Structure 1
Amino acid sequence: MADNYLGRKMEEYLARPASDRNPRKPLATLGRLLLKNRSHRGYDSRFIVREDQLRRIIEVNTRIPSAQNRQVLRFRPVLSDEAPAILAGIRLGGALPDLHLPLPGTEPNAFIIICSTVAEDRYVDIDLGISAQSMLLQATEIGLNGLCIGSFDRDRIRHEFRLPFEPLLILAIGRGIEKIELIPAGSGDSLAYYRRNGTHYVPKLRTEELIISR
C-alpha cells in the first residue's frame, strides 16, 4: 500500500505543469553575486540594517585568506544611532562632485570601520582588499548592498569612535536603490563612471584587454 501511495503521488507531481511545482531558488553563484555587488551611493532610508546582519558580514573574515595568516584586521560595526558621526565626514561619488552624493534622504545608515592592529604595509593592503570584497559579497548574498569609502579623516574617525587601532577603510552597508549597469570598455576608452537618465554606468575593460598576450 505504501508503495502504491508513493507511486501515485509521484505521478500526480509529474503530471502537474512545471510552473506549479516548487521551483528551486537560484543558486547564489559567484558570477551572480559579482554582477549584483555594485557600489551603491544611494540607499533606502526606511530600511534599518540590524546588528546581526553586520555581524554576519564581518564573520566572513574568519574564513578568508590572510597574508602570513597574521589576521591583523579588526572591525567596528556602526549602526543607525552612530551613523551621523560618519556621514558628517564623508562624501560619496568622487567622480561626480556636482551631484553632492549621497542625495538627501538616501544616506546609508550602517557602516563597518576596518582597522589594522599593525602599521599599514603591502600585506595589510592585500588583506584589506580581500576582506572588503568578501564582506561586500556577503552583504549582497543576504540582500544588502555596500560601498568602499577610502577618503575620510582617519584621525577624526579614530577619535570619534575611540578606536584602539588605525582605521583604513569604511564600508557603507544598506539596501541600495540605484540602477547600476556595467558597460564594456576598450583600453583607450574613459573608465570614469557617470550617470545618465537616472542610471549609473560603470565602464569595465573587456577580457581581451586584461590578458597579456604570449
Structure 2
Amino acid sequence: MADNYLERKMEEYQSRAAARRPAGTLGALLLKNRSYRGYDPHFVVRPDQLRRIISVNTRIPSARNQQVLRFRPVLAEEAGKVLPHIRLGGALPELHLPLPGTEPNAFIIVCSTVREDRYVDMDLGISVQSMLLQAVEIGLNGICIGAFDKARIREEFSLEAEPLLILAIGKGAERIELVPIGAADNHAYYRREGTHYVPKVRLEELIIR
C-alpha cells in the first residue's frame, strides 16, 4: 500500500510540474522557426493540427481590426493540387527544391476578402509568423511560400478570395543553421555538406544610433 501511495503522489507531482512548465520561450520558438524546404514523407499532418495553427488568427492583432484574411487548409489527399504550382529555394535554382521524396503534404492557403493593400500586408505578416510559431510549438515546421501561380491555385480550389501566400506545414527533415553577418554582406542563403545556412544581420547593425 505504501508503495502505491508514493507512486501515486509522484505521478501527481509530475503532472502538476508538467502543467506549470511553459511549452517554450519565445526565443526558443523563434530559433526553431526556420523555413524548411524538405519534409519527412512518412509524417502526415492531421486536420486538427492545421485547425490549431489557423486558430491563432482569432487572437492576433489586425490592422483597423478588419480581419479580412481567410484560410484554406490542404491535407495530403489534396497536396497534389498545390505542389505543381509552387517554387521553393529561389536562391538555389540548381537544386530544384524540394528534393524528390521530401515534398510537404499539407498546406494553408492564405487569402484576402479585399484587394491587397498595406493594411492587408500588415495582417499577412502578423498572421503567417504567428501560424508558423504555433506550428513549431506543436512540434511541426513550415515555410512561407510567395512564389506560386495564383491563378492556378485559385482555380484548383475554387477560391472566391484572392490567394496571397501559402504555408507548407510538416515535419522538417533538414539541418538549418543561422550565420551572423554584417549588413553589407551577402544575405543569400546557401547549402554546404547537407546543411542549409541562413545569414542574419547582427543585432549591433540593426540598431540605429
Tell me the TM-score normalized by structure 2: 0.90
Could you tell me whether the CA contact under 8 Å between 2:88 and 2:147 is conserved in 1? no
Partner of 1:160: 156
- The residue type paired with residue 46 of structure 1 is H
SS in 1 for 2:184: coil
Partner of 1:16: none
Partner of 1:79: 75
Moved more, 24-33 or 188-197: 24-33
2:22, 2:40 → 1: CA distance?
25
Partner of 2:112: 116
2:54, 2:129 → 1: CA distance?
11
1:124, 1:173 → 2: CA distance?
22
**Offset at residue 195 of structure 1 (A):** 0.2
SS in 2 for 1:183: strand
Q: Where in structure 2 are the equivalents of 1:142-153 lying within 5 Å?
A: 142-153=138-149
Return the match for 2:129 from 113, 123, 133: 133
Could you tell me whether the CA contact under 8 Å between 2:178 and 2:200 is conserved in 1? yes
SS in 1 for 2:131: helix
Tell me the TM-score normalized by structure 1: 0.88
Return the match for 1:194 from 190, 193, 203: 190
Output one character per residue of 1:109-167: Cα deviation in whole Å (capped at 9) or x when no partner. 00000000000000000000000000000000000000000011111100110011100
Output one character per residue of 1:63-99: Cα deviation in whole Å (capped at 9) or x when no partner. 0000010000000000000001110111210000000
- The residue type paired with residue 202 of structure 2 is R
RMSD: 1.7
Give the aligned length.
Answer: 197
Q: Where in structure 2 are the equivalents of 1:14-29 lying within 5 Å?
A: 27-29=23-25
Runs (4+) off by over 2 Å: 21-27
Q: Where in structure 2 are the equivalents of 1:49-60 lying within 5 Å?
A: 49-60=45-56
**Offset at residue 26 of structure 1 (A):** 6.2
Moved more, 185-194 or 108-117: 185-194
Q: Give unmatched runs, 5+ long, in structure 2.
A: none
Could you tell me whether the CA contact under 8 Å between 2:73 and 2:107 is conserved in 1? yes
SS in 1 for 2:85: coil
Structure number with greater Rg is: 1
1:65, 1:196 → 2: CA distance?
39
1:117, 1:188 → 2: CA distance?
39
Partner of 1:33: 29
1:153, 1:171 → 2: CA distance?
14
